[in-house]
Chain A
Amino acid sequence: GIQVEQSPPDLILQEGANSTLRCNFSDSVNNLQWFHQNPWGQLINLFYIPSGTKQNGRLSATTVATERYSLLYISSSQTTDSGVYFCADSAQLNTDKLIFGTGTRLQVFP
């Protein structure tokens, strides 16, 4: 089945710094999504991005489906950005069965 690899596993930043998180996929991209899990365990959908580029405030994401990877950019990081970032994709189209990566744990210090 599809495998999802995320890097780096851990990231420590000072407030105001920028960062790039990467997700590689072993198979074709179908329903790629980025999530943020906050320290309370809530999993928030950041982007649905099977291809192309999207921006939402300080966050943006790019997926290059032909090369099977996606990038999440966080600019001017804030302490509230701390948590774990997951990317996930479904093994096939027309299904909500998501395969998650192991996540990138981000800590932002003031």
Chain B
Amino acid sequence: KAGVTQTPRYLIKTRGQQVTLSCSPISGHRSVSWYQQTPGQGLQFLFEYFSETQRNKGNFPGRFSGRQFSNSRSEMNVSTLELGDSALYLCASSPDGNQPQHFGDGTRLSIL
């Protein structure tokens, strides 16, 4: 069974631009969550989607948004990029809550 797939793996953007990251969950998994990892703040929860509905949202500004499609694939978008958005963005999937989460390899975003 294929794991969680995140694209792209690396991305370099400049301040003010916007970016879209993609996540394909493990086949059969309906829950997708996103996390941001930085050296200073550690791993922080961004969003959780289940059956195309946002079930939870973390403490991030409105520049961070996401969505989930009917095939459970998910995208997150960050607009008006800031230097502090440089981070490793990780996506995880599970069949539903109360079960192990499995992570993709992440997208490493660098803002110049």
Contacts and interface: CB of A to CB of B under 8 A. Distances in A.
18 contacts: A31-B97, A31-B98, A31-B99, A33-B100, A41-B106, A42-B103, A42-B106, A43-B106, A44-B103, A48-B100, A86-B43, A95-B55, A96-B55, A96-B94, A96-B101, A98-B33, A98-B92, A100-B42
Q: How big is chain A's contact interface, by range?
A: 20 to 34
Query: Which of A43, A45, A96, A98 is the most central at the interface, judged by chain B CB atoms within 10 Å of its CB?
Result: A96
Interface of B: 31, 33, 35, 42-45, 48, 50, 55-56, 58, 88, 90, 92, 94, 96-103, 105-106, 108
A78 interface: no
Interface in A19-61: 30-31, 33, 35, 40-45, 48
Given A98-B45, A100-B43, A93 B97 contact: yes
A3 B56 CA distance: 18
Contacts, number: 66
B98 A103 contact: no
A95 B101 contact: no
Task: List the 10 closest pairs (A to B, CB-CB), nearest first.
Answer: A48-B100, A100-B43, A94-B97, A43-B103, A97-B56, A96-B33, A95-B97, A96-B31, A96-B48, A45-B100
Query: Which of B31, B45, B48 is the most central at the interface, judged by chain A CB atoms within 10 Å of its CB?
Result: B45
